[in-house]
Amino acid sequence: MSKVMVLFAHPGQRHSQINLDLANVARSVDDIGFVDLYADYPRFKIDVDREQERLLVHDVIVFQFPVYWYSTPSLLKEWQDLVLEYGFAYGPGGDKLAGKLLVPVVTAGGLQDAYREDGRNNFPLRTLLSPLEQTANLCQMVYVPPLVLFAALSARNDGRADDHIKQYRLLLEALRDGRFDVEAARRRDLLSDGALPVLESV
Partner 1 sequence: MDSFLFQTFIYLLAAVVAVPIANRLGLGSVLGYLIAGVVIGPMIGLVGSETQDLQHFAEFGVVMMLFLVGLELEPKALWDMRAKLLGLGGLQVAGTTLAVMAACMLFALPWSVSLAIGLVFSLSSTAIVLQTLNEKGLMKSDGGQSSFSVLLFQDIAVIPMLALIPLLALPELAEHAAQAGEHGEEAGHGSGFHLMDGLAGWQVALVNLAAVAAVIFGGHFLSRPLFRFIAAARLREIFTAAALLMVIAIALLMTLVGLSPALGTFLAGVVLANSEFRHELESDIAPFKGLLLGLFFITVGAGIDFAILFSQFWFVLGLTLGVMALKALVLLALALFFKIKGPDRWLFALGLAQAGEFGFVLLSFCVQSFVIPGEIADTLLLVVALSMLLTPALFIFHDKVIAARSDSGQEHENDQITEKGTAIIAGHGRFGQIVNRVLLSNNHKTVVLDHRADLIEGLRKFGARVFFGDATRPDLLHAAGLHDAELLVVAIDEPDQAIDLVRHARREHPDLHIIARAEDRMAVYRLYAAGANDIIRETFDSSVRASRCALEALGMHAYEAEKAITVFVDHDRAAIRKLAQVWKPDISVFDDPEYIALAKEVNAQLEAAMAGDRSALHDKTDRGWTPPGRVKGLTD
CA angle in degrees (0–180, nearest 5) for 184-133-190? 40
Q: Is the CB of residue 84 less than 8 Å from the CB of residue 73?
A: no
Q: Judged by CB under 8 A, which stretch of 39-47, 88-96, 125-133, 140-148 contacts partner 1?
A: 39-47
Residue 114 in contact with partner 1, rule: CB under 8 A: yes
Count of residues near partner 1 by CB under 8 A: 21
The SS3 of residue 142 is strand
With respect to partner 1, which residue has the nearer C-beta, 36 or 85?
36
Choice from 38, 126, 160, 170 touching partner 1 (CB under 8 A): 38
Residue 153 in contact with partner 1, rule: CB under 8 A: yes
Residue 11 in contact with partner 1, rule: CB under 8 A: yes
Where do the DSSP E strands lie in 134-201?
142-143, 147-149
Residue 182 in contact with partner 1, rule: CB under 8 A: no
Rounded distance, CA 191 to CA 91, Å?
Answer: 29
Residue 122 in contact with partner 1, rule: CB under 8 A: no
Query: Considering the complex, what minimum distance in angstroms separates the CB of residue 12 from partner 1?
Result: 3
Residue 45 in contact with partner 1, rule: CB under 8 A: no
Choice from 109, 135, 138, 182 touching partner 1 (CB under 8 A): 109
Q: Is the CB of residue 70 less than 8 Å from the CB of residue 110?
A: no
Query: Considering the complex, what minimum distance in angstroms separates the CB of residue 76 from partner 1?
Result: 13
Residue 71 in contact with partner 1, rule: CB under 8 A: no
Within 132-151, the residues that bind partner 1 by CB under 8 A are: 151
Where do the DSSP E strands lie in the chain?
4-8, 32-36, 60-66, 101-107, 142-143, 147-149
Rounded distance, CA 168 to CA 117, Å?
Answer: 28
With respect to partner 1, which residue has the nearer C-beta, 66 or 146?
66
**DSSP state letter for 159:** T
With respect to partner 1, which residue has the nearer C-beta, 66 or 104?
66
**DSSP state letter for 96:** T
Residue 24 in contact with partner 1, rule: CB under 8 A: no
* Tally of residues, the chain: 202
* Nearest alpha-carbon partner for 22 in 102, 129, 104: 104
Binding site for partner 1 (CB under 8 A): 11-17, 36, 38-40, 42-43, 109-111, 114, 120, 151, 153-154
